[in-house]
Amino acid sequence: MKRPALFLDRDGVLNRAWVRDGVPYPPASVQELEILPGVPEALTTLKEIGYALVAVTNQPDVARGTQSRQRVDEMNEHLRQTLRLDAILTCFHDDADNCDCRKPRPGLILQAARELGLDLRASFMVGDRWKDVEAGRRAGCRTFYVEQGYREPAPAASDFRVTSLGGVAEVVLELRGSK
């Protein structure tokens, strides 16, 4: 039997995104990686009620030559271990690469569903940018938009809007209680 999952964007959902002029940027190293308040508790709650926890992240700075894959892998591994994530899948491409794994395309979500036996229709995608929400929608998941106040367009539509991962956990618990 397939299980449900929470697909989670990394920067701005799990850890702090560094915002400059209203635009979010990833941390440069493990030393700059700051897990957002309430994230460990929210993930523990969601894992305890049966959700797989899978981070799916675009990291185009590797393709752009401004970040090393090794540093991104170090940050991902730190998050995986610290937050007890089931997996972290990463797209290292830039838009010009036209790959299937770069959000808003759903490639990473579909890959995780195949590899981990996940039920996409019972799952949620959680993101702080329109590309995250669109990837979840295209994969057949319900979606959460985590509002962070960036100076960029919000998603045209999402199933739920919250301000933190704690808000996601509250909504998911409410939905499970209504069944």
What are residue 56's DSSP bridge partners? Answer: 89
Q: Is the pLDDT of residue 179 over 90?
A: no
**Predicted TM-score of the model (pTM):** 0.96
- Residue 167 burial (CB count, 10 A): 18
Dump the DSSP string for the chain.
--B-EEEE-SBTTTB--EEETTEEE--SSGGG--BPTTHHHHHHHHHHTT-EEEEEEE-THHHHTSS-HHHHHHHHHHHHHHHT-SEEEEE---GGG--SSSTTS-HHHHHHHHHHTB-GGG-EEEESSHHHHHHHHHHT-EEEEE----SSPPPS--SEEESSHHHHHHHHHHHHHT-
Q: Is the pLDDT of residue 32 over 80?
A: yes
Q: Is residue 177 very low, low, confident or very high in pLDDT (cuts 50, 70, 90)?
A: confident
pLDDT of residue 178: 63
Q: Is the pLDDT of residue 39 over 70?
A: yes
Say which CATH architecture domain 5-177 belongs to: 3-Layer(aba) Sandwich (3.40)
Q: Is the pLDDT of residue 165 over 90?
A: yes
Contact 14, 22 (CB under 8 A): no
Q: Is the pLDDT of residue 23 over 90?
A: yes
Span 84-142, pLDDT tens digits: 999 999 999 999 999 999 999 999 999 999 999 999 999 999 999 999 999 999 999 99
Q: Is the pLDDT of residue 83 over 90?
A: yes
